[in-house]
Amino acid sequence: MKIYFDGCSFTNGGYLGARHGVENHKEKRWSKLVANKLGGEEHNFSSSGGSNQTILRNITVNHDISDYDLAVILMTRSDRFEFFHNGKWHHVLPSKRNYDSEEIYEFWKSYYKNIHDKTYARTYEEMIKKSIKAICKSNNVPLVLMSNHARNEGSYDLIISTEKYGQITPSDKHPSLEAQSIIADDICNFINITSVL
């Protein structure tokens, strides 16, 4: 069984190794644990700092979802975006400071201060969520669609949030190493209870 995973740093797990010294972090992140429990192959396309736009681009342009037997996608904060510049895609976050130029930084700083609106972001999130569901359904790929924000309770299969799973340190809101196995168990329990597969 081939399992498609996507999301932001909560799914990527790179923070475990880069910031917290966890060796072989890719073997210990929840996506790998889910794949192991289900006897499947992990195909994790998530990226730290990624946006819901990135997830939708991955599933529609970069990968053929029909090649997979299950999709497990963790959507991220609705105020993130991406843009293409100088031959590559760039993540945009309200707190990001390191762009290719000061001019680009000032543009996004001004955008979040003067233009960005929560209604727009949440509406776009809903559009992406419905698109992901429709894409998986039309390709007969079972989907577990999650979010990493508790405010979305009820409109996703699971919420993988710091409110529920705690955070790795007081200054780092990512799930801890210990939380990875709990998250994996919760996803597998959801799959078993709902007969997703």
For residues 81-96, average pLDDT? 92
Provide the H-helix boundaries in the chain.
Answer: 9-12, 14-18, 25-28, 30-38, 52-57, 102-110, 118-138, 162-165, 177-194
pLDDT at 169: 86
**Whether this model's pTM surpasses 0.85:** yes
The residue ranking higher by pLDDT, 187 or 173, is 187
Domain hosting residue 121, numbered range: 2-194
pLDDT at 151: 67
In the chain, the largest separation of any two C-alpha atoms, in whole Å, equals: 51
Tokens of 81: 């975006």
pLDDT at 127: 94
For the packed helices 30-38 and 177-194, what is the interaxial angle rounded to 10 degrees?
40
The number of domains in the chain is 1
Share of the chain above pLDDT 70, in %: 97
**Residue located via tokens 């880069």:** 18
Q: Please report, for the domain that includes residue 116, its CATH number.
A: 3.40.50.1110
Q: Residue 149: pLDDT above 90?
A: no
Confidence of residue 153 (pLDDT cuts 50, 70, 90): low
Of the CA atoms within 13 Å of residue 48, those in its CB half-sphere come to 9
pLDDT at 96: 86
Helix (H, G, I), strand (E, B) or coil at 82: strand
pLDDT tens, residue by residue, 97-144 = 888 899 999 999 999 999 999 999 989 999 999 999 999 999 999 999
